[in-house]
Amino acid sequence: MRYMTAGESHGPQLTTIIDGIPAGLRISEDSINADLARRQSGYGRGGRQKIERDHVRIVSGVRFGRTIGSPITLVVENRDWQNWTDRMAAFGDAPSDLKREVTPRPGHADLVGALKTDSDDCRNILERASARETAARVAAAGIAREFLADLGVSIFSYVLSIGSATFDDPDPFVRAHEFAPADIELSETRCPDPAATEAMKAEIDRARKQGESLGGTFRLVAKGLVPGLGGYATADERLTGRIGAALFSVPAIKGVEFGLGFEAARRMGSQVHDPIQLVRGRGFTRASNNAGGLEGGMSTGLPLVVTCAMKPIPTLMNPLQTVNLDTLEPESAWRERSDVCAVPAAAVVGEAELAFALADAYLEKFGHDNMADIRASIDAYQRRLRTVSR
């Protein structure tokens, strides 16, 4: 399963083509749109979210609500395009009053992208490097999530910290999957703890007053996985690496931890590794889940728990120093309309990338032509595992 997105932040639309989807999978536009709405939500979002009301159109690969085995094309229109038709026109001459972006923002792709492409206008870079592109990813992952849900797999996320405000998650690798979805989604910061939610909002308010931005951490959890997804024999088979690469493809993500993560480096082995147990008739399990549902590059069957760190947004209302690309003189970086904090939204994007990595692992192990054969293959695999544990 693979996808490719196209489109600029202020262009007419974002487009995604997804390939490798088996035939016979029921698709719901409402579910995809619900995820798009979650990506736009969260305390600390900026003015762009008041303009856009993301809605997906499926224009190929689905007939009468089910996939037909061909590539699926999704379109999400940009409502802000109507304000940018002259500045982002595909053809014709540039407007005489066009203002080029020549003061690149520290922490963004502006400068290095301009150097790479020999551009004299950072607009050519930032339009594609913008976080707006993640709307297309979330839409595409709606297909992967439908596939996983059909197989009994669910994915959710919640925010652990914003700035210095932190949710002290009790025993996260065992009980994280017990959080009620409503407790997360009704929180303005997508944190299941009300006190931590208010502390996070206060952090965002302080940053807004100071012209600053904030990053934070969020946790991803996948439940219902079969053991043995991924592989151990070659580097590219390892699910750990594949999930890590998918999450690091989101530009703002600067750190990824599985299970205990860096904490494992500070403990003795007996305090890290999960003792193996056997439940007769059901299979092997672990006494704990410090590994976060992964061992040797493969899923263990326990909840998969991944923690991600997001950097603060590069656009600052009190901008840092940069260099003007025309004059080569010091100058303040330019300001684009932006969020103060987008950690809750980034968690939804993280869900999307995790969904694609897991869906691809299922297709790799159990086939990819149609849903009936995939379900039959999984049933046979699970029967064999139960037989081993008798």
Instruction: Quick: pLDDT tens for 350-390.
Output: 999 999 999 999 999 999 999 999 999 999 999 999 887 66
* CATH number, position 219: 3.60.150.10
Which segments of the chain does DSSP mark as H helices, in order?
29-40, 48-51, 110-117, 123-129, 134-150, 172-175, 181-185, 194-209, 239-248, 343-366, 371-388
Contacts made by residues 372-380, CB under 8 angstroms, sequence distance 24+: 372/24, 374/22, 374/151, 375/150, 375/151, 378/151, 378/226
pLDDT tens per residue across span 288-324:
999 999 999 999 999 999 999 999 999 888 899 999 9
Residue 146 contacts residue 28 (beta carbons within 8 Å):
yes
Q: What was the pLDDT predicted at 175?
A: 72
Distance CA 193, CA 277 (A): 32
Helices and strands (DSSP H and E) totals, the chain: 11, 17
Residue 26 vs residues 31, 246, 251: alpha-carbon distances, Å: 11, 25, 31
Pick from 311, 309, 344: nearest CA to 108? 311
Which pairing describes strands 154-162 and 66-67: parallel, antiparallel, or unpaired?
unpaired
**Number of domains present in the structure of the chain:** 1
The Cα-based distances of 238 to 19, 162, 228, 233, 297 in angstroms read 22, 31, 11, 8, 4
Helix (H, G, I), strand (E, B) or coil at 219: strand
Per-residue pLDDT at 52: 58
pLDDT at position 180 over 90: no
In the predicted structure, residue 284 carries a pLDDT above the cut 80? yes
Per-residue tokens: 18: 């997804």
Report the C-alpha gap between 71 and 20 in whole angstroms: 7
pLDDT surpassing 60 at residue 116 = yes
- The domain in which residue 282 lies consists of 2-388
Residue 46: alpha-carbon gap to chain centroid: 19
Share of the chain above pLDDT 70, in %: 97
Q: Report how far residue 35's alpha carbon sits from residue 107's, in angstroms, rounded to the nearest whole number.
A: 28
Distance of CA 153 to the CA centre of its chain: 17
- Please tell me whether residue 220 adopts helix, strand or coil conformation: strand
